[in-house]
Structure 1
Amino acid sequence: MKQTTIAKRVEGVGIGLHKGEPINIILEPLDANLGIVFYRKDVGVSIKAEPKSVINTQMATVIGNDKGVYVSTIEHLMSAISSYGIDNIRIILDANEAPVMDGSSVSFCMMLDEAGIKELDAPKKIIVIKDEVEIREGKKFVKISPSNSPKFDYTIKFDHPLIGTQRYVFEFSKKKYIEEISKARTFGFLKDVQMLRANNLALGGSLENAVVMDDFSILNPEGLRYKDEFVRHKILDAIGDLSLMGMPILGDYTSFAGSHKLNHELTLAILADAKNFEVVELNRSALKEYAKAFA
Structure 2
Amino acid sequence: ILTSEHDHYSHHESIRFSAARSGASVRYIPLYDSGALANADQIVDRIGRAITAKTRAVGVTWVHSSSGVKLPIARIAEVVARANRGRASADRCLLIVDGVHGFGNQDVDVARLGADFFASGTHKWLFAPRGTGFLWGRADAWPELRPTIPSFDPDGIDTTFGAWADRAELPPTQASFVSPGGFLAYEHLLAVPAAVELHRAIGRDRIAARIAELNAAFRAGAAGIPGLTMHTPRDPALSGGISCFEVRGMTPGQVVARLAEKKIRTTTSPYKVSYARVSAGIMNKLEEIELVLREIRTLAA
TM-score for the superposition, normalised by structure 2: 0.28
Determine which structure has the larger strand proportion and give its number: 1
Determine which structure has the larger helix proportion and give its number: 2
TM-score for the superposition, normalised by structure 1: 0.28
Compare relative contact order (CA 8 Å, sep 6+) and give the higher one, 1 or 2: 1
